[in-house]
Structure 1
Amino acid sequence: MKLRPLNKIWPGDNMERMLVSACLGLIPGAYYILIIKVLPELLDYGSAGYIFLQLLGMFLFSNLMSNFIMCVLVDPSIDPSTMGSPLEREKQPREWHECKKCDIWAPPRSHHCKICDVCVLKRDHHCNFTGCCVGHANYRYFFYFVIYMLISSLVAFIASLVFVYFLRGGSYKFVLLPFANGLYDVREVFNEKGELNVKELLKSVIPSQFEMVFAVLFGLNWVVLFSTICFLYQRWPILISGVTWYELRTKNFNYDRGLRLNLQMIFGSRMSLSWISPFISSPLPHDGIHWMSEDKDAGDGN
């Protein structure tokens, strides 16, 4: 496994820096709010359901962050020392192509990324949220990050709905709009003499710090849940057909090797265990370079 150089891990684009920082900050923040603030009100401390949700939250959070970090750290780019120079063109198969920017003769399915300024093996796309390209070497971590993001946002969405509308909605009059909260508590801002209590009025109209933070996270949860559903729906053929995003758009299914082998090309030979943790070794059954010759050999063997 080749890791990216330390000086290239942090993205140079300001928008990508903001998105990467948001992932590194909002995911732990949402986890803290849900586990520390929401979960104790959903279930009794120490109950079977409480322990289950706490363990589930720990599992999802650890996989979210670790797959995100591994996707950023693992280098999917081509090692120029293993590729031939353009002068060796006649020695390479016709499916290879010349990259003048990298000054190498690149293998099939690889493409040059203008942002990363490198050629990437089996390049799918450049992800702005990780600040790096997604390709042959880090495909596994990216897909698990997206899948666990979907599961986590769905669990958080359900828990938040119960928390807002069934618990805080009745007992604590928790609402997301501060002025609506003021209408609910309008009778509490007057004292016994009928005089207006400005302090109580402001307390009723202006939400607490926790309410504001929770409202922002709740709104973002909607966005993340909808976005990940759309993304996975759009990218699902990549898992099934073993194609990249570019190949999917151009309807190039020449590298489809069947469902099981296609999944192994992404999640590795130990894909039945790789979902547990990104630190579980699951070697890819291909070097990402000699696609045509090795695909034929593998197909004959199966």
Structure 2
Amino acid sequence: MSATVELNAGGATLGLMPDVGGSIAFWRAGGMDFLRPVIDPHLVAQHGRAVAGYPLVPFSNRIAGDHFRFDGVDYHLTPSFAGENCAIHGNGWQRRWRLDMLSDSSATLSLDHVPVRELAGQWPFSYRAQLRYDLRENGLSIGIMVENADTRDQPVGMGFHPYFPRHSGLRLGFVAGSVWTNGPDHMPALRVPAEGEWSFAHMRDAGHAPIDNCYAGWSGSAFLRWPREGYALTLESSPELRHLVLFTPPDQPYIGVEPVSNMNDGFNRTVIADSGVQVLAPGQKMEGHIRMTVSRC
């Protein structure tokens, strides 16, 4: 059993699991669990641990067929999502992170990936990642950095996957320009305006319709409200994270609202101007920042 590191700020507590992908175990404040720990049997590398949120590096969501082509070279990844022939969410969530700095309310974790032996199937380029959690009594800030530690250019993406509790009449609101519909393989099929049933521009019940789609042109803010608990949460991200993956699995007590840089399967769709995939030269870095603020409502 991996140890949980606990941060405290006022009446808020945050549990971290460096050995389980640098993930969040729980986040509690004012008698409310703002994140929902979830055991996902498809994510085999989490070894059955309940995880409430985890970083997505060096890419978000799926890469079709575990294959992409970059600078004239074909790369093949090892499937990481049970039940699908698919690499998903990068490999940071599959690895142990080092705890580099710890204070009462802050922690900095790091990961050095070198593609040797079986690790080459996770990602074929060397990179260094850093993850910083800063807890406040009324919120949580998360910083993510990826540095190209290779001698070659490499494509990268990033994001964060929080699970929010679905109870107490959860309502959700955000603004985005468009959304990608999915084909039978869960890959983007058609880009349509974020209107009608796709729109959350007016805050509405999160509902139980199955959504697992990537929104583009996201404003960078999302709003969640648990009216029966009397709490609201504002999620804000830096300009690098302008896609939002909404995941509302039916009959589950959670939803995912994931700020990410790249569209789903963006590594095979770089001809799309806003695919969000960044190419880093050796030594170049990419950063993203997320802030979640809670209040009474």
Q: Same fold (TM over 0.5)?
A: no
TM-score (norm 1): 0.26
Identify, as 1 or 2, the structure richer in strand. 2
Q: Decide which structure has greater helix share.
A: 1
Select the structure of larger CA radius of gyration: 1
